[in-house]
């Protein structure tokens, strides 16, 4: 079992366990207390074993759904998952909820 930590930029992430599964690493973290206008916010999560070039699949909780927001992630450095929330309009939205991820090696 892997323990992950998170850099609160700009939201905060809870302590969460992630699990190594056949062919990948799965886990989740919480985005909370953040708001966004036009543009993007990022949050880094430490995931031991993740490598640049790995494939990241993201799932969002229903509380995070908003037609103006896009969520995605990528491995920005060894052991670092960067989650991105991109706002497509000029409206300001809060986003609070759980983001699940699956990291696999191509």
Task: Count how many domains the chain has.
Answer: 1
Give the tokens for residue 14. 């809870």
pLDDT single digits (tens) 6-49? 333 334 344 445 555 567 899 999 886 667 777 888 889 999 99
Average pLDDT over residues 62-87: 92
pTM over 0.85: no
> Range of 39's domain?
2-104
Instruction: Output the domain CATH number for residue 43.
Output: 2.60.220
Q: Give Cβ neighbours of residue 26 (< 8 Å, ≥ 6 apart).
A: 18, 19, 100, 101, 102, 103
């Amino acid at each position: 079992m892997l323990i992950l930590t998170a850099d609160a930029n700009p939201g905060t992430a809870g302590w969460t366990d992630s699990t190594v599964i056949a062919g990948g690493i799965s886990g989740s973290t919480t985005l909370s207390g953040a708001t966004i206008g036009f543009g993007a916010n990022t949050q880094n999560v430490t995931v031991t074993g993740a490598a640049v070039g790995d494939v990241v699949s993201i799932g969002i909780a229903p509380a995070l759904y908003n037609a103006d927001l896009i969520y995605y992630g990528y491995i920005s450095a060894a052991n670092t998952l960067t989650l991105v929330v991109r706002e497509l309009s000029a409206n300001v939205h809060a986003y609070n909820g759980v983001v699940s991820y699956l990291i696999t090696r191509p």
